[in-house]
Structure 1
Amino acid sequence: MKHRTITQNFQKQGLRSSDIYLHTNCLAILANMAPHVHRLSAYASQRLVSLFDTLSRKYTKLAELKHDKMRIGNGESRGDSLLKEMSTELHIYTDFLRIVLEILNAILTYALPRNPEVVYAIMHRQEVFQPFRNHPRFNELLENIFTVLDFFNSRMDAQRMNGEWSVEKVLEVIIINCCSWHGKGMKSHPEEFFISYVWQLVISRRKLVGATVKTQLDKA
């Protein structure tokens, strides 16, 4: 339900200041649940990866617009104000993307053998993570995701298949190899730090919403 709320808001409205606190709270709830997830469904797993894709597309588009704005640069006060707003929004999207990666990391670190559908969803859409592999805010989290991808991709490559892979066959290979998964090469992100980090974001975003609303009232 929380995931659906976030996805629908972003698809229909994008990022609005009044929704920042809602989005962060919903993500924080998902983050708290992530280490304890058991047999997440195919639909929920796919939507979680799609959420990262949706956020990443909006982040990339905004980053490109900001880059173009800075390159053109007219020195006007309105232009400076717009750049500041874009920088703030980029920071928010960066935080959202990081939380989604933290959620995926928590599932893969603490509950991978119980969630083959999550592994399948990540393998199926692995290209969406590639552009952020060297991003300074995401690289340590993506290291774990690519460790999982390397492990299961190598197991897939070792299988001799006549014809194309089916969803059922891919899942079968994933489920079999989940039993031999021991988390080798995974970097630990302490749950205690993670939870406090998420709630720190909740508080900071709540303050940001209040400041944004005050600014809008002052302009009215």
Structure 2
Amino acid sequence: MIFRIDERIVFPDPALAEEDGLLAIGGDLSSSRLLLAYANGIFPWYSEDDPILWFSPHERFVLYPERLNVSKTMRKVLRSGVFTITTNKCFNDVIEACSVAPREGQDGTWITADMKAAYNELHRIGAAHSVEVWQGDALVGGLYGIKAGRVFCGESMFSRVSNASKTALIWLCQTGNYDLVDCQVYTEHLESMGAAMISREEYITILHKTIA
């Protein structure tokens, strides 16, 4: 069954999620609710005309930073100095760019106006972070997500030139700040960089350990 959330800041056990990962419906995008969700392996994912839907997939597509596969081509790109990288310099610009660059294999955007406002507030309080990739003065790629312990819950990335989003992800993995990057949804190019599926139970165990 799918649980309906009221004004209380609570979620059902993630193990009760439907086969497609849908766990609950309703509630709001307040910072306290979002932080509780991410701390328990739950995230919102819905379209503009839908109610808020909360997911906890039975498997998670994740990347262990120490298992990151950097191709020879990308090593050459990184050495070339074609890109410069900043973090948390223009979070709103990154989320706006991601909102018009849908995830691989999906139509339209799931980053609604309410989502943008909610994640900008998480950024304001230090819970959401962005990585920006620049070519000269132009923002050409980046990503954003939520920090939960030593897990980076990646929300979305964008690239306006070849290899820009890969550069952002490689930089994130090489900071040493995270034990795991949650990529949420499978893509071929992330798999080529070393991402793989793990069970929700394994994911939540890692998540809770790093938060503790």
Structure index of larger Rg: 1
Structure number with the higher helix fraction is: 1
Q: Which has the higher contact order (CA 8 A, sep 6+)?
A: 1
TM-score when normalising by structure 2: 0.31
Q: Choose between structure 1 and 2: higher strand proportion.
A: 2
